[in-house]
Structure 1
Amino acid sequence: MEFDILIRRLEQELQSPLPGKRAHLLMSPIPIDIRRFEPVLPADHRKSGVLILFYPDERGAFFPLIKRPEYVGFHSGQVAFPGGKMELSDADIIQTALREAEEEVGVDRDQVRVLGRLSDLYIPTSNFLVSPVVGFLEKRPEFIPEANEVSRIIPTAVPLLFNPEIKKRKMLTIGKSMNLDAPYFEIDGEIVWGATAMILSELIQILYPRMK
């Protein structure tokens, strides 16, 4: 997809009602954790912002995914969008996403043009409400990964999302006893599942609504 066409499409579609839960369910692990979709969230939930950052490349339109390092925690080693928890110094969740992306992959937050947001998604295991912010840069950035938070950056071509062959599923064992039948996207040899896959599912539905 040509970059200018992509940005125009996003500008238009982000002003319309979003598919939200309908798109999220397409990539939701089974058994489905219904707490994700409860109308009332826990009072002590935490807020998190992630950035879906599009940029042009000589090969077309791209966005970065990141792989987390291995650590003791819920999202160890997982593939995600740049982002993290909201701090008291952040004016709003958009500023959270921009600040975190600057810290994690070295993009200049002042150069990012924000287009809007996708649907919020609650993650029960970590008690985070994730807000995906959509933005773009006019030129390809020089990414600088923050070693403590990013083990690798995965430049992802937008047309790859429309390739049905990347959509797969497998049984995943989480912790010592939880087994999930997890749909996932295979991107650059990595398994992209859970909240990140659910967010990507909504992005795909916006850009190419005929895909299921």
Structure 2
Amino acid sequence: MERALVTPPPVRSIGMDRTPKGERSAAVLMLLTDAPDPSLTFVTRAETLRRHAGQIALPGGRVDPGDVDRADTALREANEEIGLDRGQVRLLGELPALWVPASRYDVTTVIATWDGGQHLHAVDPAETGAVHDYRISQLASAEVRVTGKHPSGFSGPAFILGEQFIWGLTAHLVDWVLELAGWDRPWDVGREVAIPERYMRD
């Protein structure tokens, strides 16, 4: 993964122009364990949040004025959401920011590794409902990969992991990293699944 980030990849097309608009900025943390088959950390957003309640996401949030850079934002948010000690983290690099039309944020993905030794938990139940981790081998498996279909006509990569459904920007970011790191495996893009209603709240 680190080698893939030596030269930052170009902005990825996700069905529309995702070039940053400069309106407001956010950062998310793609946290991988330092292992042959890494685990990737996700959160379930709290059901009480105004936007994207109950959805599976990467830890992260908006850039605050005091943040030094996007990595600082992602690490601060991860500490606030899941109690991650930034001293345990080794930064690998960043993906180019992508514009998210639903929130009008330019979102930068910060990629990092850690030893996985710290217990991560939902620090504030009003913000984070749960913490999950999935092995890269599981995320890359054709058994969990589908194309998610939204009633609006939107479609994109998605992952079905037990009762959890990962779609939208988070699924695109996971798909992108699987590809960049050479972890991706063939899967049936034509296997379409309607996005469960409980994961579609704006």
Same fold (TM over 0.5): yes
| Correspondences of 1:142-153 after superposition (within 5 Å) | 142-146=119-123, 147-153=125-131
**Pair 1:207–1:19, CA change in 2 (3 A):** farther
Choose between structure 1 and 2 for higher RCO, CA contacts under 8 A separated by at least 6 residues. 1
What are structure 1's unaligned runs of at least 5 residues?
1-9, 26-31
Aligned residue number for residue 177 of structure 2: 203
Structure 1 moving runs of 4+ over 2 Å: 71-74, 169-173, 178-183, 209-212
CA shift digits 1:175-204 (9 cap, x unpaired): xxx453454111242111111011111101
What are structure 2's unaligned runs of at least 5 residues?
187-202
Do the aligned residues in 1 keep the contact of 2:41 with 2:134 (CA within 8 Å)? yes
**Pair 1:186–1:114, CA change in 2 (3 A):** same
Of residues 12, 26, 39 in structure 2, which corresponds to 1:48? 26
| Correspondences of 1:9-28 after superposition (within 5 Å) | 10-18=1-9, 20-21=11-12, 25=14
State the Cα distance separating 1:172 from its structure 2 match.
2.9
State the Cα distance separating 1:170 from its structure 2 match.
4.1
CA shift digits 1:13-60 (9 cap, x unpaired): 110342641xx53xxxxxx3x2x424x61x5x2111111111257x94
Scaled by the length of structure 2, the TM-score of the pair is: 0.81
| Correspondences of 1:30-49 after superposition (within 5 Å) | 32=15, 34=16, 36-38=17-19, 41=21, 43=22, 45-49=23-27
Partners of 1:199 and 1:193 lie apart in 2 by 10
AA paired with 2:24?
A: R
Aligned residue number for residue 134 of structure 1: 111
Aligned residue number for residue 147 of structure 2: 169
AA paired with 1:74?
A: R
Aligned residue number for residue 29 of structure 1: none
AA paired with 1:18?
A: P
| Correspondences of 1:75-154 after superposition (within 5 Å) | 75-146=52-123, 147-154=125-132
| Matched residues, number | 185
- Root-mean-square deviation (CA, aligned residues, Å) is 2.3
CA shift digits 1:47-106 (9 cap, x unpaired): 11111111257x942121111122353312111000000001101111000000011011
Do the aligned residues in 2 keep the contact of 1:118 with 1:202 (CA within 8 Å)? no
Scaled by the length of structure 1, the TM-score of the pair is: 0.78
Which is richer in helix? 1
Do the aligned residues in 2 keep the contact of 1:66 with 1:153 (CA within 8 Å)? yes
